[in-house]
Amino acid sequence: MAALDQTYTPTQLAAHIRKVWSKEIGLTASEEQVVVPHFKDLEKIEGELAFRKFGTLTSNDLANATVASGLTASGNTEVTVSALPLTKYCMAVVNLNTIARCAFDPKVPLRKQMEASIYEQVDRVGAGLATGLASNIVGAVDRDLDDPMIREAKRKLITSAKSAYKVGETKFATIIHPNQFENLDGIEAFYRADFRGDKENPLVSGAVYEVRGGYWFESGNIQVDTVTRNLMLLPDMTFGIGYNQKYAVKMEEFELIYKLIAWVDFGIMECFDEYGVLIQTRPS
């Protein structure tokens, strides 16, 4: 009979319940926010998001020993690039009996899951701006990512983004899709960086490289524009993002359920098209 006398300490019981219920209320997000963290943080103006900039000014000549009274002025004016706020939300309902059976608070992992879901949606909106880049385009709809394409993209960045990118001084970020990771990993500069794995070329989580003067991040949030998968090479002045309301969550208790509602209010915009590079590749 002694063998049937099963006793558990509170610690053992909590561990057992975590194992049993973790699949139901654990954090299971499959994608993280990768694109948007490389956007410029913008200000809020009267509830709307705005970014002010000037276009390129024209340089004029004045001949030596010439008396001139009619100098030509540049006609550029201040431009405000704005975006209307967007709101994303996620709602989850948890039964009170589920909470009662658990030895730990399920609201914490649930809130983490909801936050991950919200910011994945924000990231997808940011990735959608790739289709608006028009100044610097490399690749084609029938090409895979390769080393010549990467070198051409960096050349365009150096030429166009002189105010935002300095060779050897500043870093850029490139967002690639998992479908192109096989091709990226086959490029010598990248697999050597992976092989070395030193402090200047780390493989941190998933695939994060520091190669050719910039950082390379993998994200499934990259969008397909009809027949093209649009990868992006970005200094932080290419796009901007601002928040009227960062991630917030409210909880409502009603009868035998808990209702959790997470939401975020934000806006994204293109700041300097000429600072970004669009890398077009085949979608598959």
Instruction: Give residue 119's pLDDT.
Output: 87
1: confidence class by pLDDT, cuts 50, 70, 90: very low
* Domain assignment of residue 76, yes or no: no
* Among the listed residues 273, 230, 226, the one whose alpha carbon sits nearest the alpha carbon of residue 143: 230
Out of 4-8, 184-188, 236-240, pick the least confident.
4-8
Please tell me the total count of domains within the chain: 1
For 141-161, what is each residue's pLDDT tens digit?
888 888 899 889 989 888 888
* Domain assignment of residue 189, yes or no: yes
If you average pLDDT over residues 97-126, what whole number do you get?
Answer: 80
Most confident of 96-105, 203-212, 234-243: 234-243
* Domain assignment of residue 59, yes or no: no
With a cut of 80, say whether residue 18 has pLDDT above it: no
If you average pLDDT over residues 229-233, what whole number do you get?
Answer: 86
For 54-68, what is each residue's pLDDT tens digit?
777 777 777 666 666
For 195-228, what is each residue's pLDDT tens digit?
454 555 444 444 556 777 788 888 888 877 767 8
* Domain assignment of residue 127, yes or no: yes
9 to 16, 19, 21, 102, 104: CA distances (angstroms): 11, 16, 18, 15, 15
With a cut of 50, say whether residue 126 has pLDDT above it: yes
- In which domain, by residue range, is 176 found? 86-281
For 161-191, what is each residue's pLDDT tens digit?
877 778 878 888 888 888 888 888 788 777 6
* Domain assignment of residue 48, yes or no: no
200's tokens:
């200047």
Instruction: Give residue 216's pLDDT.
Output: 85
For 66-95, what is each residue's pLDDT tens digit?
666 677 777 777 777 778 788 999 888 888
* Domain assignment of residue 29, yes or no: no
* Among the listed residues 224, 215, 142, the one whose alpha carbon sits nearest the alpha carbon of residue 177: 224
> To the nearest whole number, what is the mean pLDDT of the chain?
77
* Domain assignment of residue 16, yes or no: no
Give bridge partners of residue 229 from the DSSP assignment. Answer: 224, 281
* Domain assignment of residue 140, yes or no: yes
Instruction: Give residue 27's pLDDT.
Output: 53
DSSP 164-219: T--TTT--EEEEE-GGGHHHHHTSHHHHHHHHH--TTS---SSSEEEETTEEEEE-
Query: Which residues are CB-contacts of 155 (< 8 A; sequence separation ≥ 6)?
Result: none
